[in-house]
Amino acid sequence: MSATQPIQPVTAQLSAWAASFKLDDAPAEVVQRMKALVLDFLRVVTVGQPLPWSRAARNLTLQLGGKAESSLVLCGSKVDAARAAFVNGAYAHACDLDDTHVGSMHHAGASILPAVLAMAERDNLDGRTLLTAAIIGYEASLRIGLATQPALFQRGFMATPVCGAMGAALAVSKCLNLNEKDMAGALGAAGAYAGGLAQFYLSGGVTKRLNGARGAESGVMAALLSQAGIWGPRDILEGEAGFFHAFSGAPKPEKITGDLGQGFRLMEVSTKIHAVVDEQGLPVRLLLSPGQASDMAAVPGLLAGLPTPLTVVADRGYDSNAVLDLITRSGACANIPSCSRRIARRSVDPHIYRQRNLIERFFCRIKQFQIGRAHV
């Protein structure tokens, strides 16, 4: 983009779309996908809730207290909506198994859904309102990420707390039924305090686990601030000292406004289910990972804590030295065909390998489940 070419008022366009958007404006497949992402979020939260950093976030939040408005998942306790969004967002991103959008480098669900679910419970909103707000949050955060990546990450920032806060602010604004002007003010408030540095990649730290938490909490607070009359710059995205300037320098605003309301980036969000079944084909372990993640990365989590089997049967997608060593150290035998890159091929017992049909049949049953009929 030329330095002399003015950036269009993207904040106003995005806010206008969010204020006018209705669930009936979304194609049926988009609504179906959003329902599936909500269910995916709940499964991921279940996996993340017991982890040490999740427990620490929950315990600290309970010590701080707050008005009993919204539930902490699988806990039985309630706190104010912003803190509930924080804790549930921590659960969602606790083990990096939450949904992923490659182009924006963003885990949208970990920020958007904790915020929306907290507000839906607080204000007793119906399922249609919840889905409407969630779609808005996903679309806004993913599009803002696409408009600023890869520069945002190259400058040392993480998309989930930064873009997630912006999307969550719009989503919660929809829950609050704010008008277009106040939605822009909520975006301004979220952008004014947006942050999330990637230094942990270089020197460590547990703070990455809270990326979704901070995005969710910030979004709730930004919308509530705007509702209370404490609004931020209504040109926060394109302003001279605004979001694009801080996080990109060479933004692509057309990634936000192009086909807005017609195309839906949440259809590009990916997840992957991994499973272990026993000799009768019954599931004993389910695990979710980002759609682009390697199958092999899920193996430690799939096998951890399970009784040692005689044999582990898997397809060649799980063939790696690390996986084979892990299985051998557990005391089991691996019956996994060699992948194409292997020079020296291993032999497998064809009779045992036929038992892999059990996992195929399990996934066939999963695929027959009609997500669209689930009540959200």
Residue 369 is given by DSSP the state S
Taken in order of first residue, the domains within the chain and their CATH numbers are 10-268 (1.10.4100.10), 271-373 (no CATH)
User: Which pLDDT score is estimated for 302?
Assistant: 83
The pair of three-digit structure tokens given for residue 86, joined into one six-digit string: 């924080």
The DSSP-derived string for 158-187 is -HHHHHHHHHHHHHHHHHTT--HHHHHHHH
User: Which pLDDT score is estimated for 288?
Assistant: 64
CA distance 86 to 327: 37
Whether omega before 300 lies within 30 degrees of 0, making that bond cis, reads no
211 Cβ contact list (under 8 Å, min separation 6)? 93, 107, 110, 111, 158, 160, 161, 164, 196
185: closest CA among 222, 145, 220? Answer: 222
User: Which pLDDT score is estimated for 8?
Assistant: 59
Report the SS3 class of residue 42: helix
Return the bridge partners of 312, or none: 334
pLDDT, one tens digit for every residue, the chain (376 residues): 444 445 559 999 999 999 999 999 999 999 999 999 999 899 889 888 999 999 999 999 999 988 999 999 988 899 999 999 999 999 999 987 788 898 899 999 999 999 999 999 999 999 999 999 999 999 999 999 999 999 999 999 999 999 999 999 999 999 999 999 999 999 999 999 999 999 988 888 899 999 999 999 999 999 999 999 999 999 999 999 999 999 998 999 999 999 999 999 999 998 667 788 888 888 888 776 656 566 777 788 888 888 877 899 988 878 888 889 988 988 889 999 888 778 888 888 888 888 887 887 776 665 444 333 333 3
User: Which pLDDT score is estimated for 125?
Assistant: 97
